[in-house]
Structure 1
């Protein structure tokens, strides 16, 4: 498995715009990408400007397929101005 975590810091007053697009991206990834096995979208009431993603893919190639998908590219273009920060970490399973 290949795990990806992403943390967004959402720009002020943009969460209501961001979350529906994020949820749609997650749902489409799970429905249309055979290599995507989990795509959780999480928030913390104590950090109202943060969104945390936990994604599981077959391998790095499946994640790269995700990044090239039309739905991801559309999502990415739509939300770029909605967040102040984004950090991504990728983890490969140790065997």
Structure 2
């Protein structure tokens, strides 16, 4: 079974970023706690060429165990409430759904307990 990804790009209405972040942070936490099929739920803020956060711009990066986990998430009454709460805060929203081509990439890399100065570089 392939993992499914949901990426959502948001641009908030100026002056509403803090409220957006508060709602999305709570939503991300509850999704991870309540939906076992949710493997990852991140709220990111893009940066410009100088590494500075881009005002009013956000990306949600979600990873689900499979299509049925995405369908469970989409049927969640909480998701409908979150979308309604975000509507007056958001100028634009772009949704991207995809299937993982290489589903085990999350299992690769350095484990936290193996991090040390020898890994730098």
- TM, length-normalised to structure 2: 0.73
Q: CA deviation at 1:46?
A: 3.4
Aligned match of 1:58: 65
1:26 maps onto 2:49 in alignment: no
Task: For 2:80 and 2:30, locate their aligned partners in 1 and report how far apart those are by CA, in whole Å.
Answer: 12
Q: What is the match of residue 87 of structure 2?
A: 80
Count of residues in Structure 1 that have an aligned counterpart in Structure 2: 95
| Unaligned 5+ runs, structure 1 | none
In 2, distance between residues paired with 1:38 and 1:46? 22
Q: Report the more deviating stretch, 38-47 or 26-35.
A: 38-47
Structure 1 runs of 4+ with >4 Å offset: none
Structure 2 gap segments, 5+ residues each: 47-51, 103-121
Cα pair 1:28 1:71 within 8 Å, conserved:
no
CA distance in 1, matches of 2:40, 2:33: 10
Residues in 1 aligned to 2:77 and 2:36: alpha-carbon distance in whole angstroms: 15
The equivalences for 1:1-16 within 5 A come to: 1-16=3-18
For CA contacts below 8 A with separation 6 or more, give which structure has more relative contact order.
1
CA distance in 1, matches of 2:61, 2:100: 15
Larger Rg over CA atoms? 2
State how far apart, in whole Å, the 1-side matches of 2:95 and 2:66 are: 16
Question: So what's the TM-score if we normalise by structure 1?
Answer: 0.92
More strand by share: 1
